[in-house]
Amino acid sequence: MSVARRTGAITPRDISAAKGSTPLVCLTAYTTPVARLVDPDCDVVLVGDSVGMVLHGLSSTLGVTLEMMIMHGKAVRRGLERALMVVDMPFGSYEEGPEQAMRNAARLMAETECAAVKIEGGETMAETIRFLSERGVPVMAHVGLTPQAVNALGGYRVQGKGLEAERIRRDALAVAEAGAFSVVLEKVPETLARRITEDVAIPTIGIGASPACDGQILVVDDMLGMFTDFRPKFVKRYAELAKQAETAVKSYAQEVRERRFPAPEHVFGE
Protein backbone atom coordinates (compact mmCIF):
# COMPACT_ATOMS: atom_id res chain seq x y z
CA MET A 1 0.00 0.00 0.00
CA SER A 2 1.36 3.44 -0.85
CA VAL A 3 2.15 5.78 2.02
CA ALA A 4 -0.29 8.24 0.49
CA ARG A 5 -3.27 5.91 1.02
CA ARG A 6 -2.75 5.48 4.75
CA THR A 7 -4.79 7.47 7.21
CA GLY A 8 -3.30 9.41 10.11
CA ALA A 9 -0.08 11.32 10.24
CA ILE A 10 2.77 9.82 8.25
CA THR A 11 5.90 9.07 10.27
CA PRO A 12 9.59 8.86 9.32
CA ARG A 13 9.32 5.07 9.74
CA ASP A 14 6.50 4.96 7.17
CA ILE A 15 8.76 6.85 4.76
CA SER A 16 11.67 4.44 5.31
CA ALA A 17 9.33 1.50 4.82
CA ALA A 18 8.18 2.89 1.46
CA LYS A 19 11.59 2.17 -0.13
CA GLY A 20 11.09 0.61 -3.55
CA SER A 21 7.26 0.85 -3.57
CA THR A 22 4.99 3.57 -5.01
CA PRO A 23 7.15 6.70 -5.44
CA LEU A 24 7.02 9.14 -2.52
CA VAL A 25 5.39 12.50 -3.27
CA CYS A 26 7.08 15.47 -1.62
CA LEU A 27 6.72 19.25 -1.96
CA THR A 28 7.87 22.28 -0.04
CA ALA A 29 5.50 24.62 1.80
CA TYR A 30 6.21 27.74 3.82
CA THR A 31 2.74 28.99 4.79
CA THR A 32 -0.50 27.63 6.29
CA PRO A 33 -2.68 27.95 3.15
CA VAL A 34 -0.14 26.20 0.92
CA ALA A 35 0.38 23.47 3.53
CA ARG A 36 -3.42 22.89 3.54
CA LEU A 37 -3.40 22.74 -0.25
CA VAL A 38 -0.64 20.13 -0.59
CA ASP A 39 -1.33 18.01 2.51
CA PRO A 40 -3.90 15.61 1.03
CA ASP A 41 -1.63 14.61 -1.88
CA CYS A 42 1.82 14.61 -0.29
CA ASP A 43 3.69 12.06 1.79
CA VAL A 44 6.27 14.61 2.93
CA VAL A 45 6.00 18.40 3.21
CA LEU A 46 9.37 20.08 3.58
CA VAL A 47 9.72 23.51 5.11
CA GLY A 48 12.80 24.12 2.99
CA ASP A 49 15.37 26.82 3.55
CA SER A 50 14.56 27.69 -0.07
CA VAL A 51 12.01 29.90 1.73
CA GLY A 52 14.76 32.52 1.88
CA MET A 53 14.96 32.76 -1.91
CA VAL A 54 11.31 32.00 -2.70
CA LEU A 55 9.53 34.25 -0.18
CA HIS A 56 12.17 36.61 1.20
CA GLY A 57 14.03 37.56 -2.01
CA LEU A 58 17.46 36.41 -0.78
CA SER A 59 20.04 35.54 -3.44
CA SER A 60 20.95 32.22 -1.75
CA THR A 61 19.87 30.16 1.26
CA LEU A 62 22.86 31.31 3.30
CA GLY A 63 21.03 34.19 5.00
CA VAL A 64 18.21 32.01 6.33
CA THR A 65 18.09 31.89 10.14
CA LEU A 66 16.76 29.40 12.67
CA GLU A 67 14.12 31.98 13.65
CA MET A 68 12.86 32.13 10.04
CA MET A 69 12.63 28.33 9.90
CA ILE A 70 10.73 28.29 13.20
CA MET A 71 8.28 30.96 12.04
CA HIS A 72 7.53 29.19 8.73
CA GLY A 73 7.54 25.78 10.43
CA LYS A 74 4.84 26.92 12.86
CA ALA A 75 2.76 28.24 9.97
CA VAL A 76 3.05 24.99 8.01
CA ARG A 77 2.25 22.88 11.08
CA ARG A 78 -1.16 24.60 11.31
CA GLY A 79 -1.97 23.46 7.77
CA LEU A 80 -0.98 19.77 7.97
CA GLU A 81 -3.00 16.79 9.11
CA ARG A 82 -1.39 13.80 7.45
CA ALA A 83 1.85 14.49 5.57
CA LEU A 84 5.16 14.13 7.38
CA MET A 85 6.55 17.58 8.14
CA VAL A 86 10.32 17.98 7.80
CA VAL A 87 12.09 21.27 8.58
CA ASP A 88 15.44 22.26 7.06
CA MET A 89 18.26 23.12 9.44
CA PRO A 90 19.62 26.41 8.09
CA PHE A 91 23.26 27.21 7.28
CA GLY A 92 25.32 27.70 10.44
CA SER A 93 22.88 25.89 12.76
CA TYR A 94 24.49 22.40 12.72
CA GLU A 95 27.96 22.36 11.11
CA GLU A 96 29.97 23.00 14.31
CA GLY A 97 29.25 19.51 15.56
CA PRO A 98 26.69 17.07 16.97
CA GLU A 99 25.97 19.10 20.15
CA GLN A 100 25.18 22.31 18.27
CA ALA A 101 23.04 20.33 15.81
CA MET A 102 21.19 18.58 18.65
CA ARG A 103 20.49 21.86 20.45
CA ASN A 104 19.06 23.52 17.34
CA ALA A 105 17.19 20.43 16.09
CA ALA A 106 15.55 20.12 19.51
CA ARG A 107 14.47 23.77 19.30
CA LEU A 108 13.04 23.25 15.80
CA MET A 109 11.13 20.14 16.92
CA ALA A 110 9.83 21.69 20.15
CA GLU A 111 8.73 24.97 18.61
CA THR A 112 7.37 23.79 15.23
CA GLU A 113 6.25 20.26 16.22
CA CYS A 114 7.98 18.89 13.13
CA ALA A 115 8.71 15.16 13.22
CA ALA A 116 12.07 15.36 11.44
CA VAL A 117 14.80 17.72 10.27
CA LYS A 118 16.83 17.86 7.06
CA ILE A 119 20.60 18.35 7.01
CA GLU A 120 22.79 19.02 3.96
CA GLY A 121 26.05 17.09 3.61
CA GLY A 122 27.38 13.55 3.20
CA GLU A 123 30.37 11.86 4.82
CA THR A 124 31.30 14.95 6.83
CA MET A 125 27.83 15.06 8.41
CA ALA A 126 27.59 11.32 9.15
CA GLU A 127 28.71 11.66 12.78
CA THR A 128 26.13 14.41 13.39
CA ILE A 129 23.36 12.42 11.70
CA ARG A 130 24.19 9.40 13.87
CA PHE A 131 24.21 11.55 17.04
CA LEU A 132 20.77 13.03 16.25
CA SER A 133 19.20 9.77 15.03
CA GLU A 134 20.26 7.96 18.20
CA ARG A 135 18.71 10.73 20.34
CA GLY A 136 15.20 10.86 18.88
CA VAL A 137 15.72 13.24 15.98
CA PRO A 138 14.83 11.61 12.64
CA VAL A 139 17.08 13.04 9.93
CA MET A 140 16.46 13.40 6.22
CA ALA A 141 19.89 13.78 4.60
CA HIS A 142 20.66 15.81 1.45
CA VAL A 143 23.57 15.05 -0.92
CA GLY A 144 24.61 15.92 -4.47
CA LEU A 145 24.04 19.63 -5.02
CA THR A 146 23.80 21.06 -1.51
CA PRO A 147 22.73 24.70 -1.99
CA GLN A 148 24.18 25.86 1.35
CA ALA A 149 27.61 24.97 -0.11
CA VAL A 150 27.03 27.03 -3.26
CA ASN A 151 30.22 29.06 -2.74
CA ALA A 152 32.40 26.00 -2.22
CA LEU A 153 30.79 24.18 -5.16
CA GLY A 154 31.18 27.19 -7.47
CA GLY A 155 27.49 27.50 -8.37
CA TYR A 156 24.37 25.40 -8.74
CA ARG A 157 25.75 22.96 -11.34
CA VAL A 158 25.00 19.24 -11.67
CA GLN A 159 27.08 17.17 -9.21
CA GLY A 160 28.51 13.68 -9.59
CA LYS A 161 29.57 13.67 -13.23
CA GLY A 162 32.53 11.42 -14.13
CA LEU A 163 35.00 10.89 -11.30
CA GLU A 164 32.82 12.92 -8.88
CA ALA A 165 30.21 10.14 -8.94
CA GLU A 166 32.03 7.94 -6.45
CA ARG A 167 32.25 10.78 -3.91
CA ILE A 168 28.48 11.40 -4.05
CA ARG A 169 27.81 7.66 -3.81
CA ARG A 170 30.03 7.47 -0.71
CA ASP A 171 28.13 10.44 0.76
CA ALA A 172 24.79 8.69 0.27
CA LEU A 173 26.08 5.42 1.74
CA ALA A 174 27.56 7.26 4.74
CA VAL A 175 24.34 9.12 5.65
CA ALA A 176 22.26 5.95 5.24
CA GLU A 177 24.66 3.99 7.42
CA ALA A 178 24.57 6.79 10.02
CA GLY A 179 20.81 6.39 10.44
CA ALA A 180 19.14 8.93 8.13
CA PHE A 181 15.58 7.79 7.33
CA SER A 182 15.73 9.10 3.75
CA VAL A 183 18.07 11.09 1.54
CA VAL A 184 17.46 13.89 -0.94
CA LEU A 185 19.56 13.58 -4.12
CA GLU A 186 19.78 16.96 -5.82
CA LYS A 187 20.95 17.55 -9.39
CA VAL A 188 22.82 14.32 -10.12
CA PRO A 189 22.91 12.33 -13.38
CA GLU A 190 20.37 9.53 -13.84
CA THR A 191 22.92 6.68 -13.83
CA LEU A 192 24.32 7.83 -10.50
CA ALA A 193 20.84 8.31 -8.98
CA ARG A 194 19.90 4.77 -10.06
CA ARG A 195 23.09 3.31 -8.64
CA ILE A 196 22.65 5.08 -5.29
CA THR A 197 18.97 4.11 -5.11
CA GLU A 198 19.95 0.46 -5.64
CA ASP A 199 22.80 0.64 -3.12
CA VAL A 200 21.21 2.40 -0.11
CA ALA A 201 18.57 0.86 2.14
CA ILE A 202 16.68 4.15 2.66
CA PRO A 203 14.43 5.96 0.15
CA THR A 204 16.12 8.40 -2.21
CA ILE A 205 14.08 11.52 -2.95
CA GLY A 206 15.14 13.18 -6.16
CA ILE A 207 15.14 16.78 -7.31
CA GLY A 208 16.75 16.95 -10.71
CA ALA A 209 17.81 13.35 -10.16
CA SER A 210 15.61 11.36 -12.60
CA PRO A 211 12.74 8.92 -12.06
CA ALA A 212 15.19 6.30 -10.79
CA CYS A 213 14.71 7.67 -7.25
CA ASP A 214 12.22 6.31 -4.68
CA GLY A 215 10.40 9.65 -4.61
CA GLN A 216 10.40 13.19 -5.98
CA ILE A 217 10.45 16.64 -4.42
CA LEU A 218 9.97 20.08 -5.98
CA VAL A 219 9.74 23.59 -4.64
CA VAL A 220 5.99 24.21 -4.72
CA ASP A 221 6.30 27.74 -6.14
CA ASP A 222 8.41 26.40 -9.04
CA MET A 223 5.93 23.69 -10.07
CA LEU A 224 3.02 26.13 -9.79
CA GLY A 225 4.78 28.61 -12.09
CA MET A 226 4.96 31.40 -9.52
CA PHE A 227 8.06 32.80 -11.26
CA THR A 228 8.20 33.98 -14.85
CA ASP A 229 12.00 34.28 -14.94
CA PHE A 230 13.15 30.99 -13.34
CA ARG A 231 12.97 27.87 -15.53
CA PRO A 232 15.40 25.16 -14.43
CA LYS A 233 15.45 22.02 -16.63
CA PHE A 234 14.40 19.71 -13.78
CA VAL A 235 11.18 21.57 -12.97
CA LYS A 236 7.94 20.73 -14.72
CA ARG A 237 5.40 23.52 -14.43
CA TYR A 238 1.95 22.15 -13.62
CA ALA A 239 0.41 25.65 -13.65
CA GLU A 240 1.32 29.18 -14.70
CA LEU A 241 0.11 31.07 -11.63
CA ALA A 242 2.44 34.06 -12.06
CA LYS A 243 1.03 34.75 -15.53
CA GLN A 244 -2.54 34.39 -14.27
CA ALA A 245 -1.81 36.70 -11.34
CA GLU A 246 -0.22 39.30 -13.62
CA THR A 247 -3.33 39.32 -15.83
CA ALA A 248 -5.60 39.56 -12.78
CA VAL A 249 -3.70 42.54 -11.33
CA LYS A 250 -3.80 44.35 -14.69
CA SER A 251 -7.59 43.82 -14.94
CA TYR A 252 -8.08 45.08 -11.38
CA ALA A 253 -5.99 48.19 -12.02
CA GLN A 254 -7.86 48.98 -15.23
CA GLU A 255 -11.32 48.46 -13.66
CA VAL A 256 -10.46 50.65 -10.66
CA ARG A 257 -9.20 53.45 -12.93
CA GLU A 258 -12.33 53.19 -15.12
CA ARG A 259 -14.63 53.03 -12.02
CA ARG A 260 -15.92 49.60 -13.13
CA PHE A 261 -14.87 48.07 -9.79
CA PRO A 262 -16.50 47.93 -7.28
CA ALA A 263 -19.69 47.02 -9.21
CA PRO A 264 -23.17 47.13 -7.56
CA GLU A 265 -22.83 43.52 -6.32
CA HIS A 266 -19.78 44.49 -4.27
CA VAL A 267 -21.48 47.45 -2.55
CA PHE A 268 -23.36 47.39 0.80
CA GLY A 269 -26.83 48.98 0.88
CA GLU A 270 -28.52 50.60 3.89
Give catalytic residues, as residue numbers.
186
In terms of Cβ atoms closer than 10 Å to its own Cβ (0-12, 13-18, 19+), residue 90 is: buried
* DSSP output for 137-204: --EEEEEES-GGGHHHHTSS-----TTHHHHHHHHHHHHHHTT-SEEEEES--HHHHHHHHHH-SS-E
Least distance from C-beta 27 to ligand KIV, angstroms? 9
The least distance separating ligand KIV from the CB of residue 218, rounded to whole angstroms, comes to 7
The answer to whether 123 and 170 are in contact (CB under 8 A) is: yes
In the complex, the smallest distance separating the C-beta of residue 130 from ligand KIV, rounded to whole angstroms, is: 21
Nearest distance in Å: CB 48, ligand KIV: 2
Between CA 101 and CA 94 the distance in angstroms is 4
Between 28 and 128, CB nearer to ligand KIV: 28
Residue 174 vs 185, nearer CB to ligand KIV: 185
Nearer to ligand KIV, 66 or 217 (CB): 217
Considering the complex, state which of residue 207 and residue 226 has its C-beta at the smaller distance from ligand KIV.
Answer: 207
**Residue 205 β-bridge partners:** 184, 215
The minimum distance between CB 180 and ligand KIV, in angstroms, equals 14
Round to whole Å and give the CA distance between 102 and 98: 6
How many whole angstroms separate alpha carbon 29 and alpha carbon 183? 18
Amino acid at 243: K
DSSP state of 2: -
**Which residue type, as a one-letter code, is found at position 3?**
V
Binding site for ligand KIV (CB under 6 A): 28, 46, 48-50, 88, 184, 186, 207, 217, 219
Q: Are strands 182-186 and 44-47 parallel, antiparallel or unpaired?
A: unpaired
Contact 238, 221 (CB under 8 A): no
In this complex, which beta carbon is closest to ligand KIV, that of residue 28 or of residue 197? 28
Give me the residue whose beta carbon is nearest to ligand KIV.
48
Task: Give, to the nearest 10 degrees, the angle between helix 126-133 and helix 98-112.
Answer: 50
